[in-house]
Structure 1
């Protein structure tokens, strides 16, 4: 409790001491072990000519004792919630990156698969064409002739047509090698037959070529040269030449 100093107390150094004076310059004649804080309740009491000012404040303050625990719990819960939000955000970002990576990989895989399918179709078509060409070039030929005075002999041959359907994938290397050898023998015989033909006179000329009188193996034959379209494939040209 405080009160104003009297004039005699102000002039007496034994009574006017700093430790007995508060911030307002009043005499503190009764107080607790500590000065009241700014939150203390202040009350003025008038006694005669003096005005007494009393400060009331609980020893532990106005705040409840469980306030600090509550603040610590709120801080802890807030930290846990923040950590969970961070983990969820990181997981979502990682899933998004993984999804984009998987989608890009799927696009690249689809492109690669399409290219492989196209390459496979191209190789299959090339393989079928090669086997058809081998079948056409390696087909057996039959030759026939008619003899007589002044008669004309024409060479007739037949061709197996193009191989249709699916080509068996079980062909072995031995079969391919045998076909190559057979083609080599047939090519040699064809070259010898062509070299043995001698053209003598021009018998006629048409839209598709010329017909000559010739000698083949001592026999008079008709030799016809054909004009084939430029856009015709090699296999078709060879097939027409055998006819």
Structure 2
């Protein structure tokens, strides 16, 4: 990454955060629970073995952005039952994070969440972390008309709905590929990859891209990164 080309934060008016594995670390393994329920749902609905369902799940996730989008496109699957089922997880591993809350609160400007998950799931996560009061709104997969990041249309819908100027916005994500479009729109981009991420069940491609030209900054400590921004 060329430091001379990195975008800064002095001009930022809107702070946009992904939810899962960004506002909390991957080792909490909430997403592993969702992952297992997705596999079970596919196996039951398509009458597949667990191994076959796993292979299909990961293929669709990589090609379509979410497994759901692949199931809708390839099998005409209805989304409501799927979304309700896969997000029925135990959120208790999440604990309040006052340091993160204080760091987010200290940012000048609007704060929004842009997630491929559901609003219901996001609300529970924010409540468990104790950070919900700091966010203006959540733009979820339903608001995106079930078209997930990294689809350019999803970012366009988000920007339009919330009247966000991308040239004055920063985007925080745990997947580098989801930062390509925000960067092309003019956003300052931050890739959040906490230590120990590789020890969590994640695909190799999910870990790629930290040196990509569309990634302006990389951090393994979101709260600390935000504190340093405020201090600067």
TM-score bracket, shorter-length normalisation: under 0.3
Q: TM-score by structure 2 length?
A: 0.18
Q: If each structure's helix is expressed as a fraction of its own residues, which one has the higher value?
A: 2
Larger Rg: 1
